[in-house]
Amino acid sequence: MSENAFLRARRPEHKRQRREAILSAARELALRSGVREVSLGGVAAAVGMAKSNLARYFATREEIYLELSAREWQDWKHAVLARLPPSPTPDAVVDALTDTLAERPLFCDLLSHSATSLEHNVTVDAARAYKVCVLDVIGTLTEAIARTRPGFTEGEARELVAAATGLAALVYPASNPPPALAELYAREPDLAAACVPFQPTVKRLLSALAAGLPALR
């Protein structure tokens, strides 16, 4: 094999490794300082690439985080499937959905930014890949829950799965306030009522939906 052929053959694998290194650096940075604080330049610096070179892999920081979000959705799907008992009560369905979200702060952080930020500033293809993944996960979990006959219709099961991720997106930033708010809450405990604990809040609201949706039939 000539050296040129070797280089050509190596290239797709090399590109794949670079992509993974970028995603891994972006993941570490987000875990450390929150998705909001990470810039494309920050990711480039962490992975040791020039920003112009990184742009050949991802055009925007939103594309990086949308791809990480898609992976987190798949990871969450497997976790819920593993956690669902064969014949769950409605409470057990709520627990499986909530506890697996509470164990995934990066997923919750990404969810909280997806509709207002990550889905902007990306190509139609990137947005499509993400939406296809989200609908696949919601569809798979809906079927799995409906199959266990926990007292929900398939439509209600779908609403519960979507609501679980929606509530995670909503509650996560409130329960993880930025420095200025954290300082304020420490100084004025009366205002800290706005800072709700993640897992109990999501579980209570999802339990109320699980009880209330069938009542609307």
Cβ of residue 200: shortest distance to its own copies, in angstroms?
Answer: 12
Cβ of residue 8: shortest distance to its own copies, in angstroms?
Answer: 33
Cβ of residue 148: shortest distance to its own copies, in angstroms?
Answer: 20
> Alpha-carbon distance 180 to 159, whole Å?
35
> Alpha-carbon distance 33 to 9, whole Å?
38
Does 23 help bind its own copies (rule: CB under 8 A)? no
Q: Which residues contact 206 (CB under 8 A, 6 or more apart)?
A: 94, 97, 98, 160, 163, 164, 167
DSSP state letter for 114: I
Considering only residues 79 to 138 of the shown chain, the ones binding its own copies according to CB under 8 A are: 112-113, 115-117, 119-120, 122-124, 127-128, 131-132, 134-135
- Residue ranges in 40-104 assigned as alpha helix (H): 40-47, 51-54, 61-83, 90-102
Q: Which of 59, 136, 173, 199 binds its own copies (CB under 8 A)?
A: 173
Does 207 help bind its own copies (rule: CB under 8 A)? yes
Query: Which CA distances in Å does 13 have to 10, 66, 87, 133, 157?
Result: 6, 22, 44, 24, 41
Q: Which of 14, 154, 194, 197 binds its own copies (CB under 8 A)?
A: 194
Structure tokens at 63: 């594309």
Does 146 help bind its own copies (rule: CB under 8 A)? no
List interacting residues with its own copies (CB under 8 A). Answer: 36, 112-113, 115-117, 119-120, 122-124, 127-128, 131-132, 134-135, 159, 163, 166, 169-170, 173-174, 177-178, 180-181, 183-184, 188, 191, 193-194, 204-205, 207-213, 215-216
